[in-house]
Structure 1
Amino acid sequence: MTVRQRPSAPGAGRAPGADGGTGAERGRAVRPAAAHTTDGRTARDVVFYRLGKKFVDHERSIPEDVRSVLYYTLAIGHHTGVIDCLEPRLATSRVVFSDVLAALGTGEAADKLRGIERFGEIELKKEHVPLLKPAVLAALEGCGTVPEPGTAAAGLVVAADVPSWLEEFLFLLDEVQCEPAVYAMGRRVS
């Protein structure tokens, strides 16, 4: 799978043919990079994001008299006033993702991931790892692939087929399981 380049030249974001575009631009609408949507009719890819960092913008946005409430909610585990920064970690086309779902078969793990098609996005937390990991390992075994430990790639990985997606997803699940505050979010995007 090739990573689509977003045009930055004049005419970017207009309908195909509006500026006489050639090649890959002809025949499809070109969207600005910030115009991602989870719309099932226009979404072309599935991307999993991993929590990269969290922060509280307490200097500008939170008045002094409210800060104690904010820190109390943080102490008891609520996310009031916390900004989560999610970084793209694993991407593939919806066609490959559909093949992944088929490889997982039926069951709770596949149903959890099917939530992306049903709702547009899902959240994966530590409690989902024991459900998903055995199903991913079984699907990898069915593909004839055994992942090597500790070979996760850094940054965004674009998976071109089912085995490579399953391997990288397994590494993502390990990251969610091992880091105390890490979670992942899967979305269909345009």
Structure 2
Amino acid sequence: MDSKLTIVVIEEDRDRAIAIVEALKESGNHDVHVVGPIAGLARKIAAYSPDVVLIDIDNPTRDILEELTLASGPLERPVAMFVSGAAGGLAQAAVEAGVSAYVVDGLQPERLKPVMDTAIARFRMVRQMRTELAETRRALEERKVIDRAKGLLMKAKGIDEDAAYALLRKTAMDQGRRVAEVAEALVTASGLLR
């Protein structure tokens, strides 16, 4: 957390908001914005385009938790939520909703920096895993399309699998496209000819 961050703090109590802002200023030169009333929260948060969202709430209900997590965009940025009590099983719901850190016993200014650092680190780790999963799924889908295109070429031209792949690869190189793109075009064209 060495660089300047834009931080949105969701806190309805003015005195607590001031204490949070002071603690954040002590931990670094951050651009801190406090959002009080929860009404129109998504719009307010989006206006600041924050790097991190900190939510301080006494006793969240499942509905408030869902609204807060949707509004704060936990898939777009790290979100740390501070609650006063155990809140009856809401920790799991918060984590499932994408909250990077869920801290019971409220927001203590001295714990703010380590919790925020942890939320940022966890968010980055989860984002990297999501990216890798998406890439793996895309590669698997491409592999399926390539296999289907090879099957079409093998049947239509009476060639073996290696020759079918070589033909796909040569066509892709000649056209300056990826093998998966050529395979997709072949599969699509084949579907039109039926």
TM-score where L is the length of structure 1? 0.21
Between structures 1 and 2, the one with greater strand share? 1
TM-score where L is the length of structure 2? 0.21
Kindly indicate whether structure 1 or structure 2 has the higher relative contact order, using CA contacts under 8 Å at least 6 residues apart.
1
